[in-house]
Structure 1
């Protein structure tokens, strides 16, 4: 896989599109986004669906007398967005942490092709947005069981970075001990369902979608690495210099989308689901008030620190060459705006009942299960926090341990470790957990 990185990345730095730019009265902004990477929705799917960017640019046009045109380009991963930015064909793009660094490294090789990181979209400080899943009936119960197996992943993506790090951490060489197959997320998901690969290492929302549909089982939660994973917004510096008001309008529109998502989480989830074809229950798992993603455009120090820690790893596998991170991170545009602090209400779980327009919260895993049992209502989805990592997951897909109370774990290895450390405890299935609550 290390040998494949340079060739793959070089191949991605090609392509053609309608060039962006401006005439005397018409200014074009080309936005590259990933519709199904739903922790970028405030700079992509939801932003587009709500029309906030067009509204902000229309207001700008009334002040400048110019016409602003937005061209949206949807991609499955961040790599082709980088390729188009290098070619000067995309002006603003959203992508994950690993693709961001590759973007910075590649564009810094060109005099006027440099890019700048101007905002974050969504993050998880523990890394739970990247996961490894296997077929439901797989014989693999830990990462070590994947030795000799075929793993689908998008090389150069945040999900691939987590997969490689996780395998390395348990003594599995990603180059020689497994067969890493470079595939787009949708292709990899199909390959997993067809039995063409043995595991899928991907980013939000593919693991959740497959598990919710009963097509996969969670094998590894990226939160075990305890390293922040996040997505952000990158702009071509040449475009930002020529059109600073447009970049400012984009960030204002991103704040509009963030405020809407936080104020109307259920409605936002339904809109994103309608635009992407993802299950609403999966979108809400990630984008709900206590979901896996925290939406906050601030370029927090801990997020930038995480990028700094990623650089040596990317160098070691041939993903990047030189990189000046300080010249890539640009907080100046966002600093001109008032950015509210993210608000995350605290609860141990939620139930989305059929016919309900909002979820019902619970204060503990036991109370969540009692609520489900005693309501007499049909459940669309129930969400509960992992007892070890805090990762929110589907209650009926979790591994439950009974030990003077019920403890949910999103992966089997965590549950078995708990049982080993607590004599007398035992793993129970979900229906039994509901009965015992």
Structure 2
């Protein structure tokens, strides 16, 4: 017995201590934050890899009010595609997930089938034009366009955003996907090996493989998703019950995503290198997508085109007989959390919603030192060992500089050019060019596009090697 305490007082003291311990335990709640990422799908970087590697989530997690004594248990799990990530979300093993419009829509359907709900809370990166998805053929193939693949076999990761693009591209050719082409399921890791050994005639895939495989030298891109004019994006999802219980945590996650986006925009080369270090996806491919004037735009706002992409994905899933269930996109897409994140970060969501511009570039020509004011014919060179990409006002200026760099024994990491027709960024070594009588070069993805332009405007269509040789002669 405690000295001075009567038995009744002692019991009251013990009860009070028990209540205090119980209250402290309740206030020190352990809150799980389990996030599923797709590291090699570099579109998801600002919703996963960069947040994790830079410790950004911890920076924004709430520590006041009901979270004053919260003990956060942050868990990260990496996936190579959206389907297994969705399985774990439905099973309650994950709270957040990052994936493309197609698997994201299936995520919503799968949750409904299980008597649950998920919410699509933010875009992370995408293209209202459709760039990102693409079709490649083996490097030695004579095929130059999709039109030449009639009767051929095309592999694709089934029920992916690339699958949806492929079906739309086939329909645009007026083909029957059941008769005029043979579409088979093949994930990118298998397709890469098949392309290397010429065991597949063509492969359709999502970010970054339609650029990664050509960059590695064993494939050639013959179709870009922008030709299908089908918007595509990757975004973030959350379990609806989790969001209702912890809305401030959802907002914190999206604030971390906004911060990752800001950092990437400020130093694209640096963070392209970080993505390569973690994933093995070459930095030059990461920069191709997400550097200035890149293939895709990192954009966290729910533009109408992205909302439509979700609706189209659901319709296509029905066509593929992956589901017979509808999904109310007005309820599935929930922008309240990203709006809250923008507000907390001091940014204007509605202004960003109206902005369709690619990440801008402010740069001087590496050859002349003069500011570049017209970016339609921008060309760039990334020299291995250099922290920054070199910028040139034209492809011919870049090729002239390339000759000098090669004479100096420099290792060229990548050369980029902007497509004259679509404006998308290209790997110049894979591109076609039209050289006019002034010696000016205009870049195109496809041989046919270059030949059509040359016929309309004059000039000669050349592949990269020929364009480089012509420029070398002209520079002497």
TM-score if structure 1 supplies the norm length? 0.88
Q: Deviations over 1:60-113 (max 9, x none)?
A: 7995211111221111111222222222222111111111222222323343x1
Q: Deviations over 1:238-292 (max 9, x none)?
A: 1111222221221111111111111111110000000001111111111212221
What secondary structure is seen at the aligned counterpart in 2 of 1:174?
coil
Taking the aligned partners of 1:371 and 1:40, their CA distance within structure 2 comes to: 34
1:78 and 2:82 are equivalent in the alignment: yes
Taking the aligned partners of 2:446 and 2:470, their CA distance within structure 1 comes to: 16
Task: For structure 1, list consecutive stretches of 5 or more residues without a partner in the other structure.
Answer: 1-21
Q: CA deviation at 1:198?
A: 1.6
Q: Deviations over 1:138-175 (max 9, x none)?
A: 13222132233222211111111111211221133332
1:399 and 1:415 in contact (8 A); partners too: yes
TM-score if structure 2 supplies the norm length? 0.81
1:40-79 superposed matches below 5 A:
40-57=44-61, 63-79=67-83
The equivalent residue for 2:6 is none
Task: For structure 2, list consecutive stretches of 5 or more residues without a partner in the other structure.
Answer: 1-25, 362-374
Taking the aligned partners of 1:23 and 1:292, their CA distance within structure 2 comes to: 47
Taking the aligned partners of 1:31 and 1:286, their CA distance within structure 2 comes to: 24
Q: Deviations over 1:169-198 (max 9, x none)?
A: 113333233332212221221222122222
2:426 to 393, 398, 423: 393
Cα RMSD for the two superposed structures? 2.4
Q: Which moved more, 1:130-139 or 1:147-156?
A: 147-156
1:344 and 2:379 are equivalent in the alignment: no
What secondary structure is seen at the aligned counterpart in 2 of 1:322?
coil
1:118 and 1:330 in contact (8 A); partners too: yes
1:89-128 superposed matches below 5 A:
89-111=93-115, 113-128=116-131
**1:368–1:57 CA distance, 2 compared to 1 (3 A):** same
1:140 and 2:143 are equivalent in the alignment: yes
Taking the aligned partners of 1:61 and 1:150, their CA distance within structure 2 comes to: 59
The equivalent residue for 1:362 is 392
Q: Deviations over 1:184-242 (max 9, x none)?
A: 22122122212222211001111211111111011111111222211110111011112
**1:180–1:191 CA distance, 2 compared to 1 (3 A):** same
The equivalent residue for 1:224 is 227
What secondary structure is seen at the aligned counterpart in 1 of 2:113?
coil
The equivalent residue for 2:449 is 414
Runs (4 or more) in structure 1 with deviation over 6 Å come to none
**1:23–1:92 CA distance, 2 compared to 1 (3 A):** farther
Q: Which moved more, 1:346-355 or 1:389-398?
A: 346-355
What secondary structure is seen at the aligned counterpart in 1 of 2:61?
helix
Q: Which moved more, 1:157-166 or 1:183-192?
A: 183-192
Taking the aligned partners of 1:56 and 1:371, their CA distance within structure 2 comes to: 45
1:252-331 superposed matches below 5 A:
252-320=255-323, 321-331=325-335
Taking the aligned partners of 2:305 and 2:230, their CA distance within structure 1 comes to: 10
The equivalent residue for 2:462 is 427
2:165 and 2:230 in contact (8 A); partners too: no
User: Higher relative contact order by CA 8 Å / sep ≥ 6: 1 or 2?
Assistant: 1
Q: Deviations over 1:107-154 (max 9, x none)?
A: 23343x111111110011211100000101113222132233222211
The equivalent residue for 2:8 is none
